[in-house]
Amino acid sequence: MNQNERPLVEALQKHMNQKPVSFHVPGHKNGMIGEVAGHFGGWDQTEISGLDDLHAPEGPIAKSQDLLAQHAEALKSYFLVNGSTTGNLAMVMSICEPGSHLLVAGNAHKSVIHACRLARVKPVFLTSEVHPDSITPSGISLDFLKEAINQFPDAKAVLLTYPSYYGHTGQMEAVIGFAKKSGLTVLVDEAHGAHFSLPGFPVSSLQMGADVVVQSAHKTLPALTMGSFLHIGKDFEHNHRIEQLLGMLQSSSPSYPIMASLDDARYYAATYSSEDTAFFKSKRIELVSRLRNIQRLTVIEPEDPLKLIVRMDGLSGYDLQVACEECGIYAELADPLQVLWTLPLLKKGNQVQWDHVVKSLNEIAKTAAWTDIPKPAHVKKAITTLVVHDADGLPYSVLPIEKGAGRIAAETITPYPPGIPLVITGERLTAEKCHELNRLMKMNMRFQGGSHLIEGKMKVVQEDLNE
């Protein structure tokens, strides 16, 4: 097959060239009515003749997915129009039986926790190693995986996060290799690695032997938001259940603009050359070099070249984020220490200028006041298991956060971004965890969940009904 083709894009273009009259949904009628829909015009279609059907593909969508599988070197690949969340739900629910244990990297996205709740699976969390430069999770160690397998020999699968949100790759190849030798099915949330395996970038976990891999094409490739991929490894033959679940979990009215953008994103990646990599890296080196000449500024370069971590002495990451946004510069996320940038995957000939970024950070460094930045809490390595669904629906009390130590959490509290839960429904809270939640609250971290956080309180299970 020719990777220069874009079957779904071409089918939509052919349809629009006919200047068709629409007596079908969607209601904007090829963009004829409605202000927002008019921007999409004829791209936003439905399953009419010639445009195929995501849930029973045999035309341009089928060919687009076959080209994606060929590019990814997968047994089979699927378009996801409801984001990588759908892929994470499908792979956990298809592989794991109710009541079984699933080994999970501790830096898993909240959608993995949701998948465990829906599948009634018992996740076994393995604390990730902390990268010495960024002080963020980098992935589980091989030794820790071996220990977990010894403790939970009944576990049939492991779910890994690769790369980390901050672009760290950890010991992924060794971990996957040992997991496979131990008979585990290897599931990978590769949301931030859709560009992996391109020239000059880290290798995808699919090439390392992973069985099922989910990628957010919209995060690092030019796909619309919610556009993702799911790949089946060449040695994994049990994809029938995954396909069935995708039919249940995905919209029965999939977005054609999203699917067309996935076709285009695959084309963009498949035609990305070594010359393109050289161009991108030259622009990246230029930016990093200029940033490192700014006083107070520290730049950390993760293993993924698309990520940069930026710190400024005397400013928290949240304060630096605010200062940058006042200059029109928006980071991927901020944490107590730093901001994280996701760079554009440039091709040769793309135009990009860093002058405004460098000038703005120079000005911030000269004018921003200094404050004392608290050190992050020390992360204790642990292997812990939860029955994440049993605390749902139980009577609960609302207590000050500092009084939560020793109690069972009755809600999940997730810093967002990055979407990695800090507190999970059903876990026994430690004093360290409560302290960290309080610290992040005082630094104005944004959270999803925690309906009483604004009051400095949280929900815990009523273990004593006289409360």
Rg (CA), the chain: 23
Ranges of each domain in the chain: 1-59+251-272, 274-367, 390-461
Q: What is the pLDDT of residue 464?
A: 62
Span 329-341, pLDDT tens digits? 999 999 999 999 9
Q: What is the pLDDT of residue 238?
A: 78
Q: How many CB atoms lie within 10 A of CB 453?
A: 18
Over its length of 467 residues, how does the chain's per-residue pLDDT go in tens digits? 899 999 999 999 998 888 888 778 888 788 777 778 777 777 889 899 999 999 999 999 999 999 999 999 999 999 999 999 999 999 999 999 999 999 999 999 999 999 999 999 999 999 999 999 999 999 999 999 999 999 999 999 999 999 999 999 999 999 999 999 999 999 999 999 999 999 999 999 999 999 999 999 999 999 999 999 999 999 898 789 999 999 999 999 999 999 999 999 999 999 999 999 999 999 999 999 999 999 999 999 999 999 999 999 999 999 999 999 999 999 999 999 999 999 999 999 999 999 999 999 999 999 999 988 877 766 677 888 877 767 777 899 999 999 999 999 999 999 888 888 899 888 899 898 898 898 888 877 889 999 899 999 999 998 764 55
Q: What is the pLDDT of residue 418?
A: 86
Q: Please determine, looking at this structure, whether the domain spanning 274-367 carries the CATH number 1.10.599.10.
A: no
| pTM greater than 0.85 (yes/no) | yes
Identify the burial level of 58 via C-beta atoms within 10 angstroms of its C-beta, where 0-12 means exposed, 13-18 middle and 19 or more buried: exposed
Q: Is the peptide bond before 163 cis (omega within 30 degrees of 0)?
A: yes
Q: Burial code of 151-189, b = ≥16 C-beta within 10 A, e = fewer?
A: ebeebebbbbbbbbbbbbbbbbbebbebbbeeebbbbbb
Distances (CA, A) of 462 to 117, 424, 427: 21, 16, 13
Superfamily classification of domain 390-461: Orn/Lys/Arg decarboxylase, C-terminal domain (3.90.100.10)
Query: Amino acid identity of 454?
Result: I
Q: What is the pLDDT of residue 374?
A: 76
Q: In whole angstroms, give the CA distance from residue 163 to residue 194.
A: 10
